[in-house]
Amino acid sequence: EAPTLVLWGDDDRWIPIAHADRFVAAIPGARKAVIPECGHVPQEERPAEVARLLEEFLGETRAN
């Protein structure tokens, strides 16, 4: 029931992006953010983008 953000790299070669959709479908209220031109480790490959998405998500979560 906790707010959940599923982050995924659109070029993840280990786990297909379809799994992100499965996670979002299985977690009530979850939402997905896909990072373009990013692989399996977004926090290392695109740290600024991950931080921006997390800050945005947390800001929205606090507002609700």
Token pair listed for 1: 């029931």
Active site residues per annotation: 40
Helix (H) or strand (E) run with residue 18 in it: helix 18-26
Could you give the 3-state DSSP secondary structure of residue 7?
strand
State the residue for tokens 């379809």: 18
